[in-house]
Amino acid sequence: MNWAIIIAVLLTSQAALAATLHGTVYDLSLQEVDNAIIELSSAQSKQQLVARNGTYSFEVTPGTYKLVARTEQLAVIEDVQIPHEGTYIVDLILVDTFEDLEQLLLDLEDTSAEEPYVEETTTYTAWYVVVVVAVLALMGAWLVIRHRKKREHSEFDQQVDDELLQNIISFLQSQQGRTTQKEIRKQFSYSEAKISLALSQLEHEGRIKKLKKGRGNIIILHG
């Protein structure tokens, strides 16, 4: 049972580190070459396939590979580096080959060939996306809270007009001179900060009295 778990973990780890190597096979006139034999080998493994419609694709793990493409008359060999997971594109151009492919391999090993063009696309993992979304959400929440506080402060800074003060007094008179701050807030289309500022001004002028009751205030009209 323990060996089964270990093997499953190893297979999962290899799958997580998998990369894709693919490309197109051309001749010297840049025409796609159909049915070329493609071999990909490293010190640990070897894969082979036939390039249908001139294209090939391998699933590999990071490492150093020798990529060989050949037909009866043409061949090419490229050294390919796969540093980490991702997608790599290596297009191959076949050239005239020697009759003996092994001789071609020996000759190419002694020649410093130009490195093939490798196009790499980075694979972004799911955790990176989650972190970015979380950071954006926190920034959005912070901006909303900041805007709300700024708006409330700006309303505090505004002078309470006499019309609002008189409307509050009239409402208190209609309620037999007694009501709650919550009811006053419901009655008028102003923010809680603006209503609180108006009541504080009326209390300062001696026109009302505020009594603390639980979490709210009871407002009593004087005189």
pLDDT in tens, 134-146: 888 888 888 888 7
**How many domains in the chain?**
2
Residue 111: what residue type? T
pTM exceeds 0.75: no
In a domain, 153, yes or no: no
Sign of the C-alpha dihedral computed for residues 149, 153, 156 and 159 taken in this order: negative
DSSP secondary structure letter of residue 176: T
Phi and psi angles of residue 39, each rounded to the nearest 5 degrees, phi first? -120, 135
87 and 24 together in one domain? yes
Per residue in 147-179, pLDDT tens?
776 665 555 445 678 889 999 999 999 999 989
Question: Looking at per-residue confidence, does 193 or 116 come out higher?
Answer: 193
Which of 108, 93, 89, 50 is closest to 80 using CA atoms? Answer: 89
Confidence of residue 5 (pLDDT cuts 50, 70, 90): low
93 and 39 share one domain = yes
Its domain, for residue 213, covers 160-221
Residue range 77-118, pLDDT digits in tens: 999 999 988 899 999 988 875 544 555 555 555 544 444 445
Q: Is 215 helix (H, G, I), strand (E, B) or coil?
A: coil
In terms of domains, do 185 and 99 share one?
Answer: no
Share of the chain above pLDDT 90, in %: 37
- Whether residue 139 is contained in a domain is answered as no
Residue 142 lies in a domain: no
The structure tokens listed for 100 are 């003996």
Same domain, 115 and 166: no
DSSP 109-128: HTS-PPPPP-EEEPPPPHHH
**H/E element holding 130?**
helix 126-157
- Give SS3 for 18: coil
